Structure 1
Amino acid sequence: MSETQARSNYTGDEAYAASRRRTAEPTAWVGVVIFAAVMLLLMGGFQIMEGIVAIFRDDYYLTTSRGLVLTLDYTAWGWTHLIIGLIAVGTGIGIFAGQTWARVVGIIIASVSALANAAFLPAYPIWCAILIAIDVLIIYALAVHGREVK
């Protein structure tokens, strides 16, 4: 049998399987997802620090709790940031393990973190702006290239 005849016997299912093998290999975008996981760990650590400071040192921030977007006392804000930080750290570890749920939770927690920091912006503007920028990078990396890590 000639080589041309052998190629014509190649079925559609085999072609699909061959293309899946080629696309299943990781690409260079894995680095972006690993970056998102590291950023989630960092963001979680920053949120934990921000939360602990808000719980124990109300006088540390630039404005009173009445000057915030949502008028909660700093203890409530501290617990909010602490919980967001703990979930972010766990999610970052899950992304390193290649878990699908971690990508979804990572996008959600980065969105919640960005909203919480936008509401907390009057109290600590530069820190919150940096965290919002990190959150945007995390959302981009996980939404666009998240399935690269398995």
Structure 2
Amino acid sequence: MSDDRPPRPLLGTDRAVTPVVGKALEAAIVVLFIGLLTSTLFGGVVPGYRSAAGDAVAERSLSGAAARVEQAVPATESATVRLRVDLPDTIRGEHYHVRTDGRALVLDHPHGAVGGRVPLALPDSVTAVDGSWYSAQDPVVRANATASGVVVRLGEERR
């Protein structure tokens, strides 16, 4: 049996689904764009920026700490000097250590892209530099001048 009737013309009420489908596709494209943008930023750009900024903060912190160590060396032969050192609690969101390797300060950070080493400009009267600082503590530098020379020690005070 064949239907020889002509097709019925579409009325305005027959197209009710078209706007809903269009809006759903628009929303899906927006969600896809935001997801792609977010994964791109947090997958590559933001961590790289955090590492570069953390390394710059580490370098400035070490330079400031080295200046305080150099200021602690007493000018007289029998003096003791104690200075507080300002260091940020965290760099790149994590605690870190500052130690000496004889004549330099070294920043050891859990993240491999953050760190540094700054040589100390100390007079010949300084016979030893030792100790370390942990960023969660209050760093202090002590310099004791004796007849045999000046000994500089990095230490901490509990908060």
- Answer whether TM exceeds 0.5 for this pair: no
Taking CA–CA contacts closer than 8 Å with sequence separation of 6 or more, which of the two structures ends up with the larger relative contact order? 1
- TM score, norm. by length of structure 1: 0.30
Larger strand proportion, structure 1 or 2? 2
Which structure shows the higher helix fraction?
1
